[in-house]
Copies of this chain bind each other. A is one copy, B any other.
Amino acid sequence: MVDIATRVWNHKWKIDPIVRSLIDTDFYKLLMCQTVFRRHPKTRVTFSLINRTKSVPLARLVDEGELREQLDHIRSLSLSRGESTWMRGNTFYGKRQMFTPAFMDWFENLRLPAYHLERVGDQYELTFEGSWPEVMLWEIPALAVLMELRSRAVLHDMGRFEMQVLYARAMTKLWEKVERLQKLPDLRIADFGTRRRHSFLWQDWAVQAMQEGLGRAFTGTSNCLIAKNRDLEAIGTNAHELPMVYAALADTDEALRQAPYDVLADWHDEHEGNLRMILPDTYGTGNFLKHAPDWLAGWTGIRIDSGDPVEGAETAIRWWKERGEDPRQKLVIFSDGLDVDKIEELHARYAGRVRVSFGWGTLLTNDFRGLVEGDALAPFSLVCKARSANGRPTVKLSDNPEKATGPEDEIARYRRVFDIGHQERREVFV
Protein backbone atom coordinates (compact mmCIF):
# COMPACT_ATOMS: atom_id res chain seq x y z
CA MET A 1 0.00 0.00 0.00
CA VAL A 2 1.47 3.34 -0.99
CA ASP A 3 1.51 5.92 1.75
CA ILE A 4 0.31 8.85 -0.38
CA ALA A 5 1.00 11.41 2.29
CA THR A 6 4.64 10.34 2.50
CA ARG A 7 5.01 10.43 -1.26
CA VAL A 8 3.52 13.90 -1.46
CA TRP A 9 5.65 15.03 1.47
CA ASN A 10 8.71 13.77 -0.39
CA HIS A 11 7.72 15.69 -3.53
CA LYS A 12 7.52 18.99 -1.77
CA TRP A 13 11.01 18.91 -0.28
CA LYS A 14 13.02 21.73 -1.67
CA ILE A 15 16.08 19.86 -0.53
CA ASP A 16 16.64 16.57 1.19
CA PRO A 17 18.35 17.89 4.29
CA ILE A 18 21.36 16.09 5.70
CA VAL A 19 21.30 17.75 9.12
CA ARG A 20 17.79 18.14 10.47
CA SER A 21 18.43 19.03 14.06
CA LEU A 22 20.82 21.16 16.10
CA ILE A 23 21.41 18.14 18.33
CA ASP A 24 22.51 16.01 15.37
CA THR A 25 25.98 16.70 16.77
CA ASP A 26 28.45 15.25 19.23
CA PHE A 27 27.50 15.41 22.88
CA TYR A 28 30.89 16.84 23.84
CA LYS A 29 30.22 19.84 21.63
CA LEU A 30 27.23 20.72 23.78
CA LEU A 31 29.18 20.15 26.99
CA MET A 32 32.06 22.29 25.78
CA CYS A 33 29.65 24.87 24.42
CA GLN A 34 28.15 25.33 27.86
CA THR A 35 31.60 25.88 29.37
CA VAL A 36 32.50 28.34 26.64
CA PHE A 37 29.12 30.08 26.94
CA ARG A 38 29.76 30.57 30.65
CA ARG A 39 33.41 31.55 30.61
CA HIS A 40 34.31 32.88 27.17
CA PRO A 41 31.12 34.13 25.52
CA LYS A 42 32.87 37.09 23.92
CA THR A 43 35.88 35.29 22.49
CA ARG A 44 35.93 35.61 18.71
CA VAL A 45 37.05 32.57 16.80
CA THR A 46 37.50 31.37 13.24
CA PHE A 47 36.89 27.74 12.38
CA SER A 48 37.79 26.34 9.02
CA LEU A 49 37.20 23.14 7.21
CA ILE A 50 40.18 21.34 5.70
CA ASN A 51 40.24 18.29 3.48
CA ARG A 52 43.51 16.56 4.33
CA THR A 53 42.88 14.02 1.56
CA LYS A 54 43.67 16.17 -1.48
CA SER A 55 43.05 13.21 -3.80
CA VAL A 56 39.32 13.63 -3.12
CA PRO A 57 38.38 16.66 -5.30
CA LEU A 58 35.41 17.78 -3.21
CA ALA A 59 34.59 20.81 -5.34
CA ARG A 60 34.37 18.68 -8.46
CA LEU A 61 32.22 16.05 -6.76
CA VAL A 62 29.88 18.28 -4.80
CA ASP A 63 27.82 21.01 -6.42
CA GLU A 64 28.31 24.38 -4.77
CA GLY A 65 24.61 25.22 -4.96
CA GLU A 66 23.65 22.03 -3.18
CA LEU A 67 26.29 22.61 -0.54
CA ARG A 68 24.95 26.12 0.08
CA GLU A 69 21.40 24.80 0.33
CA GLN A 70 22.48 22.31 2.97
CA LEU A 71 24.42 24.90 4.96
CA ASP A 72 21.57 27.41 4.67
CA HIS A 73 19.19 24.76 5.91
CA ILE A 74 21.35 24.25 8.99
CA ARG A 75 21.20 27.97 9.65
CA SER A 76 17.40 27.73 9.65
CA LEU A 77 17.37 25.12 12.41
CA SER A 78 16.51 25.83 16.01
CA LEU A 79 16.13 23.59 19.00
CA SER A 80 12.73 21.89 19.09
CA ARG A 81 10.65 21.57 22.22
CA GLY A 82 11.33 17.81 22.43
CA GLU A 83 15.06 18.30 21.97
CA SER A 84 15.10 20.92 24.67
CA THR A 85 13.15 18.66 27.00
CA TRP A 86 15.58 15.83 26.33
CA MET A 87 18.58 18.05 27.10
CA ARG A 88 17.00 19.56 30.19
CA GLY A 89 15.60 16.35 31.58
CA ASN A 90 17.96 13.58 30.63
CA THR A 91 20.44 11.88 32.91
CA PHE A 92 23.98 11.85 31.62
CA TYR A 93 26.34 9.56 33.44
CA GLY A 94 23.85 9.47 36.27
CA LYS A 95 23.88 13.24 36.74
CA ARG A 96 20.67 15.18 36.17
CA GLN A 97 20.41 18.65 34.80
CA MET A 98 23.83 18.80 33.29
CA PHE A 99 22.78 21.82 31.24
CA THR A 100 21.91 24.92 33.22
CA PRO A 101 18.68 26.84 32.62
CA ALA A 102 20.72 29.86 31.47
CA PHE A 103 22.52 27.81 28.84
CA MET A 104 19.30 26.17 27.69
CA ASP A 105 17.55 29.54 27.33
CA TRP A 106 20.41 30.76 25.17
CA PHE A 107 20.57 27.55 23.14
CA GLU A 108 16.82 27.54 22.48
CA ASN A 109 17.12 30.90 20.79
CA LEU A 110 20.29 30.12 18.88
CA ARG A 111 20.64 30.11 15.11
CA LEU A 112 24.04 29.21 13.67
CA PRO A 113 26.01 32.21 12.35
CA ALA A 114 26.91 32.91 8.71
CA TYR A 115 29.46 30.87 6.81
CA HIS A 116 31.95 31.84 4.16
CA LEU A 117 32.29 29.45 1.24
CA GLU A 118 34.72 29.71 -1.63
CA ARG A 119 35.89 27.29 -4.25
CA VAL A 120 39.69 27.10 -4.54
CA GLY A 121 40.77 24.70 -7.25
CA ASP A 122 39.18 21.33 -6.61
CA GLN A 123 38.55 22.06 -2.92
CA TYR A 124 36.18 24.22 -0.95
CA GLU A 125 37.30 26.75 1.62
CA LEU A 126 34.61 26.87 4.23
CA THR A 127 35.09 29.15 7.21
CA PHE A 128 32.99 30.34 10.13
CA GLU A 129 33.68 33.49 12.13
CA GLY A 130 32.00 34.84 15.22
CA SER A 131 31.60 34.25 18.93
CA TRP A 132 33.13 31.02 20.12
CA PRO A 133 29.97 29.37 21.56
CA GLU A 134 28.15 29.89 18.28
CA VAL A 135 30.86 29.14 15.76
CA MET A 136 32.01 25.97 17.50
CA LEU A 137 28.61 24.38 16.82
CA TRP A 138 29.28 24.45 13.09
CA GLU A 139 32.07 21.87 13.21
CA ILE A 140 30.09 18.64 13.27
CA PRO A 141 27.22 19.54 10.92
CA ALA A 142 29.64 21.11 8.41
CA LEU A 143 31.69 17.90 8.31
CA ALA A 144 28.62 15.70 8.13
CA VAL A 145 27.19 17.73 5.25
CA LEU A 146 30.32 17.48 3.14
CA MET A 147 30.81 13.79 3.88
CA GLU A 148 27.23 12.95 2.95
CA LEU A 149 27.11 15.17 -0.15
CA ARG A 150 30.17 13.31 -1.37
CA SER A 151 28.45 9.96 -0.72
CA ARG A 152 25.35 11.15 -2.54
CA ALA A 153 27.43 12.32 -5.51
CA VAL A 154 29.05 8.90 -5.85
CA LEU A 155 25.71 7.09 -5.48
CA HIS A 156 23.88 9.38 -7.86
CA ASP A 157 24.07 7.29 -11.03
CA MET A 158 23.65 3.86 -9.46
CA GLY A 159 20.79 1.55 -10.30
CA ARG A 160 18.25 0.73 -7.62
CA PHE A 161 19.41 -2.84 -7.06
CA GLU A 162 23.06 -1.99 -7.48
CA MET A 163 22.56 0.50 -4.68
CA GLN A 164 20.70 -1.96 -2.51
CA VAL A 165 23.54 -4.42 -2.95
CA LEU A 166 26.06 -1.74 -2.05
CA TYR A 167 24.28 -1.23 1.26
CA ALA A 168 23.90 -4.99 1.63
CA ARG A 169 27.67 -5.27 1.35
CA ALA A 170 28.26 -2.46 3.81
CA MET A 171 25.82 -4.05 6.28
CA THR A 172 27.52 -7.40 5.95
CA LYS A 173 30.91 -5.78 6.47
CA LEU A 174 29.77 -4.00 9.60
CA TRP A 175 27.98 -7.05 10.97
CA GLU A 176 31.11 -9.15 10.55
CA LYS A 177 32.86 -6.61 12.75
CA VAL A 178 30.05 -6.83 15.31
CA GLU A 179 30.38 -10.62 15.31
CA ARG A 180 34.08 -10.31 16.08
CA LEU A 181 33.42 -7.79 18.84
CA GLN A 182 30.83 -10.13 20.39
CA LYS A 183 33.71 -12.42 21.31
CA LEU A 184 35.48 -9.83 23.51
CA PRO A 185 34.56 -10.26 27.19
CA ASP A 186 33.58 -7.13 29.13
CA LEU A 187 33.91 -4.97 26.05
CA ARG A 188 32.79 -1.34 26.35
CA ILE A 189 32.45 0.51 23.10
CA ALA A 190 30.59 3.60 21.89
CA ASP A 191 29.86 5.24 18.55
CA PHE A 192 32.04 8.30 17.93
CA GLY A 193 31.41 8.41 14.19
CA THR A 194 29.10 11.38 13.60
CA ARG A 195 31.52 13.76 11.93
CA ARG A 196 32.78 11.49 9.18
CA ARG A 197 29.77 9.28 8.72
CA HIS A 198 28.71 8.02 5.32
CA SER A 199 25.25 9.48 5.96
CA PHE A 200 22.82 10.13 8.79
CA LEU A 201 20.69 7.10 7.95
CA TRP A 202 23.72 4.87 7.80
CA GLN A 203 24.99 6.03 11.20
CA ASP A 204 21.53 5.42 12.60
CA TRP A 205 21.59 1.88 11.15
CA ALA A 206 25.09 1.23 12.46
CA VAL A 207 24.11 2.34 15.95
CA GLN A 208 21.06 0.07 15.98
CA ALA A 209 23.06 -2.87 14.65
CA MET A 210 25.58 -2.34 17.46
CA GLN A 211 22.71 -2.14 19.96
CA GLU A 212 21.27 -5.46 18.86
CA GLY A 213 24.56 -7.19 18.24
CA LEU A 214 26.49 -6.09 21.32
CA GLY A 215 23.78 -5.43 23.89
CA ARG A 216 25.21 -3.83 27.03
CA ALA A 217 28.75 -3.84 25.64
CA PHE A 218 27.57 -1.01 23.40
CA THR A 219 27.56 1.89 25.81
CA GLY A 220 26.06 4.60 23.65
CA THR A 221 26.64 7.14 20.92
CA SER A 222 28.23 10.56 20.79
CA ASN A 223 25.35 11.67 18.56
CA CYS A 224 22.68 13.40 20.66
CA LEU A 225 19.87 13.06 18.15
CA ILE A 226 20.44 9.34 17.70
CA ALA A 227 20.87 8.87 21.46
CA LYS A 228 17.53 10.59 21.94
CA ASN A 229 15.73 8.66 19.17
CA ARG A 230 17.19 5.27 20.07
CA ASP A 231 17.01 5.61 23.82
CA LEU A 232 20.76 5.42 24.30
CA GLU A 233 23.28 7.17 26.51
CA ALA A 234 24.88 10.23 24.92
CA ILE A 235 28.66 9.88 25.24
CA GLY A 236 31.50 12.39 25.25
CA THR A 237 33.57 14.80 27.31
CA ASN A 238 35.84 17.40 25.75
CA ALA A 239 38.08 17.97 22.76
CA HIS A 240 41.21 19.72 21.53
CA GLU A 241 39.47 22.97 20.75
CA LEU A 242 39.44 23.98 24.41
CA PRO A 243 43.24 23.86 24.96
CA MET A 244 43.80 25.22 21.46
CA VAL A 245 41.77 28.36 22.07
CA TYR A 246 42.97 28.79 25.65
CA ALA A 247 46.54 28.47 24.36
CA ALA A 248 46.02 30.99 21.56
CA LEU A 249 44.71 33.49 24.09
CA ALA A 250 47.76 33.13 26.37
CA ASP A 251 49.84 36.32 26.46
CA THR A 252 53.15 34.82 27.51
CA ASP A 253 55.07 31.57 27.06
CA GLU A 254 54.47 30.86 30.73
CA ALA A 255 50.71 31.38 30.32
CA LEU A 256 50.85 29.22 27.20
CA ARG A 257 52.53 26.40 29.13
CA GLN A 258 49.79 26.68 31.74
CA ALA A 259 46.85 26.89 29.31
CA PRO A 260 46.07 23.15 28.98
CA TYR A 261 45.86 22.85 32.77
CA ASP A 262 43.64 25.94 32.97
CA VAL A 263 41.19 24.19 30.68
CA LEU A 264 40.99 21.21 32.95
CA ALA A 265 40.81 23.32 36.10
CA ASP A 266 37.72 25.01 34.64
CA TRP A 267 36.34 21.60 33.67
CA HIS A 268 37.07 20.24 37.14
CA ASP A 269 34.87 22.96 38.62
CA GLU A 270 31.96 22.00 36.42
CA HIS A 271 32.04 18.24 36.10
CA GLU A 272 32.71 15.02 37.88
CA GLY A 273 32.71 11.25 37.26
CA ASN A 274 32.99 10.04 33.70
CA LEU A 275 33.23 13.60 32.44
CA ARG A 276 36.59 14.06 34.17
CA MET A 277 38.54 12.62 31.28
CA ILE A 278 41.98 13.94 30.38
CA LEU A 279 42.71 14.55 26.71
CA PRO A 280 46.47 14.98 27.08
CA ASP A 281 47.86 15.07 23.53
CA THR A 282 47.11 18.57 22.27
CA TYR A 283 50.71 19.62 22.94
CA GLY A 284 52.27 16.22 23.57
CA THR A 285 51.14 13.64 26.08
CA GLY A 286 54.52 13.00 27.75
CA ASN A 287 55.20 16.54 28.90
CA PHE A 288 51.60 17.25 29.66
CA LEU A 289 51.47 14.45 32.21
CA LYS A 290 54.93 15.16 33.58
CA HIS A 291 54.00 18.71 34.53
CA ALA A 292 50.38 18.03 35.44
CA PRO A 293 49.11 19.15 38.86
CA ASP A 294 48.43 16.32 41.33
CA TRP A 295 44.66 16.80 41.37
CA LEU A 296 44.56 15.70 37.72
CA ALA A 297 45.81 12.23 38.66
CA GLY A 298 42.60 11.85 40.65
CA TRP A 299 40.48 12.18 37.50
CA THR A 300 38.54 9.21 36.15
CA GLY A 301 40.69 8.53 33.15
CA ILE A 302 42.35 9.54 29.94
CA ARG A 303 41.43 9.60 26.27
CA ILE A 304 44.10 8.60 23.77
CA ASP A 305 43.47 10.26 20.42
CA SER A 306 46.78 10.37 18.53
CA GLY A 307 50.18 8.73 18.36
CA ASP A 308 50.87 5.09 19.20
CA PRO A 309 47.94 4.06 21.44
CA VAL A 310 50.07 1.55 23.35
CA GLU A 311 52.72 4.17 24.08
CA GLY A 312 49.98 6.57 25.17
CA ALA A 313 48.38 4.04 27.51
CA GLU A 314 51.70 2.91 28.96
CA THR A 315 52.70 6.52 29.59
CA ALA A 316 49.41 7.09 31.41
CA ILE A 317 49.78 3.90 33.48
CA ARG A 318 53.32 4.86 34.54
CA TRP A 319 52.10 8.34 35.41
CA TRP A 320 49.24 7.09 37.56
CA LYS A 321 51.59 4.76 39.40
CA GLU A 322 54.07 7.61 40.00
CA ARG A 323 51.24 9.69 41.45
CA GLY A 324 50.13 6.85 43.74
CA GLU A 325 47.01 5.96 41.78
CA ASP A 326 45.86 2.42 40.98
CA PRO A 327 45.64 2.13 37.17
CA ARG A 328 43.09 -0.70 37.48
CA GLN A 329 40.61 1.89 38.77
CA LYS A 330 41.34 4.21 35.84
CA LEU A 331 39.50 4.43 32.53
CA VAL A 332 41.42 4.56 29.26
CA ILE A 333 39.38 5.53 26.22
CA PHE A 334 40.93 4.76 22.86
CA SER A 335 39.45 6.87 20.07
CA ASP A 336 41.98 7.31 17.28
CA GLY A 337 41.51 5.58 13.93
CA LEU A 338 40.11 2.38 15.41
CA ASP A 339 39.01 -0.69 13.56
CA VAL A 340 38.33 -4.20 14.83
CA ASP A 341 41.92 -5.48 14.57
CA LYS A 342 43.16 -2.62 16.71
CA ILE A 343 40.25 -2.93 19.15
CA GLU A 344 40.95 -6.64 19.62
CA GLU A 345 44.64 -5.99 20.15
CA LEU A 346 44.15 -3.19 22.67
CA HIS A 347 41.38 -5.09 24.44
CA ALA A 348 43.64 -8.12 24.89
CA ARG A 349 46.60 -6.04 26.00
CA TYR A 350 44.84 -3.94 28.62
CA ALA A 351 42.28 -6.37 30.06
CA GLY A 352 42.84 -6.35 33.84
CA ARG A 353 45.44 -3.59 33.73
CA VAL A 354 43.10 -0.61 33.31
CA ARG A 355 39.40 -0.13 32.60
CA VAL A 356 39.17 0.20 28.85
CA SER A 357 36.59 1.78 26.62
CA PHE A 358 36.57 2.40 22.88
CA GLY A 359 35.23 5.40 20.98
CA TRP A 360 34.80 3.97 17.53
CA GLY A 361 34.50 6.55 14.78
CA THR A 362 34.88 6.58 11.04
CA LEU A 363 35.37 2.87 10.47
CA LEU A 364 32.13 2.21 12.30
CA THR A 365 30.02 4.77 10.43
CA ASN A 366 31.78 5.01 7.09
CA ASP A 367 33.58 1.83 6.16
CA PHE A 368 32.65 1.68 2.50
CA ARG A 369 36.21 0.83 1.54
CA GLY A 370 36.46 -1.50 -1.41
CA LEU A 371 32.75 -1.40 -2.19
CA VAL A 372 32.66 0.72 -5.34
CA GLU A 373 34.94 1.22 -8.31
CA GLY A 374 37.98 3.36 -7.69
CA ASP A 375 37.18 3.14 -3.97
CA ALA A 376 35.16 6.32 -4.48
CA LEU A 377 33.30 5.86 -1.19
CA ALA A 378 36.34 5.29 1.00
CA PRO A 379 36.31 7.65 3.98
CA PHE A 380 38.69 10.55 3.84
CA SER A 381 40.29 12.90 6.28
CA LEU A 382 38.12 15.97 6.59
CA VAL A 383 38.50 18.17 9.66
CA CYS A 384 37.01 21.42 10.90
CA LYS A 385 39.21 23.16 13.44
CA ALA A 386 39.60 26.41 15.33
CA ARG A 387 42.11 28.41 13.31
CA SER A 388 42.27 31.58 15.35
CA ALA A 389 40.98 33.10 18.57
CA ASN A 390 40.70 36.87 19.06
CA GLY A 391 42.86 37.23 15.97
CA ARG A 392 45.65 34.97 17.16
CA PRO A 393 46.43 31.72 15.36
CA THR A 394 45.70 28.43 17.07
CA VAL A 395 48.10 25.51 17.13
CA LYS A 396 47.68 21.81 17.68
CA LEU A 397 50.67 19.51 17.93
CA SER A 398 49.21 16.14 19.09
CA ASP A 399 51.39 13.03 19.43
CA ASN A 400 51.74 12.71 15.68
CA PRO A 401 53.45 15.48 13.69
CA GLU A 402 51.23 14.59 10.73
CA LYS A 403 48.28 15.89 12.72
CA ALA A 404 49.93 19.20 13.68
CA THR A 405 48.02 22.33 12.60
CA GLY A 406 48.83 26.03 12.73
CA PRO A 407 51.38 28.46 11.20
CA GLU A 408 54.87 27.03 11.01
CA ASP A 409 56.53 29.62 13.24
CA GLU A 410 53.86 29.15 15.87
CA ILE A 411 54.24 25.37 15.69
CA ALA A 412 57.96 25.87 16.31
CA ARG A 413 57.27 28.15 19.27
CA TYR A 414 54.79 25.71 20.78
CA ARG A 415 57.23 22.82 20.30
CA ARG A 416 59.81 24.84 22.22
CA VAL A 417 57.44 25.96 24.99
CA PHE A 418 56.05 22.44 25.47
CA ASP A 419 59.50 20.93 25.21
CA ILE A 420 58.56 18.48 22.44
CA GLY A 421 61.42 16.21 21.37
CA HIS A 422 61.27 13.66 18.59
CA GLN A 423 57.79 12.51 17.56
CA GLU A 424 57.17 9.52 15.37
CA ARG A 425 55.21 10.21 12.20
CA ARG A 426 52.11 8.05 11.73
CA GLU A 427 49.95 8.05 8.65
CA VAL A 428 46.66 9.81 9.27
CA PHE A 429 44.01 7.53 7.92
CA VAL A 430 40.78 9.22 8.89
Q: Which of A23-31, A164-172, A256-264, A351-359 interfaces with chain B?
A: A164-172
Of the listed residues A3, A161, A171, the one surrounded by the most CB atoms of chain B closer than 10 A to its CB is A161
A167 adjacent to B165 (CB under 8 Å)? no
Shortest Cβ distance from A180 into chain B, in angstroms?
A: 14
Q: Which of A109-117, A206-214, A229-237, A385-393 interfaces with chain B?
A: A206-214
Shortest Cβ distance from A206 into chain B, in angstroms?
A: 10
Q: Does A175 contact B (CB under 8 A)?
A: yes
Q: Report the contact-size class of chain A (Cβ under 8 Å from the partner).
A: 20 to 34
Smallest CB gap from A163: residue in B: B212
Q: Does A65 contact B (CB under 8 A)?
A: no
Q: Does A120 contact B (CB under 8 A)?
A: no
Q: Does A159 contact B (CB under 8 A)?
A: yes
Shortest Cβ distance from A12 into chain B, in angstroms?
A: 13
Smallest CB gap from A371: residue in B: B172
Q: Does A252 contact B (CB under 8 A)?
A: no
Q: Does A5 contact B (CB under 8 A)?
A: yes
Q: Does A13 contact B (CB under 8 A)?
A: no
A213 to B5, CA, bound (A): 32
A3 to B5, CA, bound (A): 9
Partner of A213, one of B1, B162, B209: B162
A9 adjacent to B5 (CB under 8 Å)? no
**What are the residues of chain B within 8 A of A55 when measuring CB–CB?**
none
A5 to B169, CA, bound (A): 33
Per-residue contact bits, chain A 142-161, to B (CB 8 Å; 1 contact, 0 not): 00000000000000000111
Q: Does A6 contact B (CB under 8 A)?
A: yes
10 A-B residue contacts at CB 8 Å? A1-B3, A1-B5, A1-B6, A3-B3, A3-B6, A160-B212, A161-B209, A165-B171, A165-B209, A168-B171
A159 adjacent to B212 (CB under 8 Å)? yes
Per-residue contact bits, chain A 167-189, to B (CB 8 Å; 1 contact, 0 not): 11101100100000000000000
B162 adjacent to A212 (CB under 8 Å)? yes
Residues of A in contact with B (beta carbons under 8 Å apart):
1, 3, 5-6, 9, 159-162, 164-165, 167-169, 171-172, 175, 208-209, 212-213
A213 adjacent to B161 (CB under 8 Å)? yes
B1 adjacent to A208 (CB under 8 Å)? no
B175 adjacent to A208 (CB under 8 Å)? no
Shortest Cβ distance from A248 into chain B, in angstroms?
A: 45
A206 to B56, CA, bound (A): 35
Shortest Cβ distance from A261 into chain B, in angstroms?
A: 44
Smallest CB gap from A176: residue in B: B165
Nearest 8 A/B pairs, CB to CB: A168-B168, A168-B171, A165-B175, A3-B3, A161-B212, A161-B209, A1-B6, A159-B212
A160 to B211, CA, bound (A): 11
With A161-B213, A164-B171 given, name 8 new contacts (CB 8 A): A3-B3, A161-B212, A162-B212, A167-B168, A168-B169, A168-B175, A169-B172, A172-B172
A6 to B6, CA, bound (A): 13
Shortest Cβ distance from A169 into chain B, in angstroms?
A: 5
**What are the residues of chain B within 8 A of A161 when measuring CB–CB?**
175, 208-209, 212-213
Of the listed residues A9, A165, A167, the one surrounded by the most CB atoms of chain B closer than 10 A to its CB is A165
A168 to B160, CA, bound (A): 15
**What are the residues of chain B within 8 A of A171 when measuring CB–CB?**
164-165, 168
A164 to B169, CA, bound (A): 11
**What are the residues of chain B within 8 A of A5 when measuring CB–CB?**
1
A122 to B208, CA, bound (A): 38
A1 to B6, CA, bound (A): 7
A6 to B208, CA, bound (A): 24
**What are the residues of chain B within 8 A of A3 when measuring CB–CB?**
1, 3, 6
A421 to B125, CA, bound (A): 81
**What are the residues of chain B within 8 A of A1 when measuring CB–CB?**
3, 5-6, 9
**What are the residues of chain B within 8 A of A175 when measuring CB–CB?**
161-162, 165, 168
**What are the residues of chain B within 8 A of A162 when measuring CB–CB?**
175, 212-213
User: If A3-B1, A5-B1, A6-B1 touch, does A165 touch B172 (CB 8 Å cutoff)?
Assistant: yes
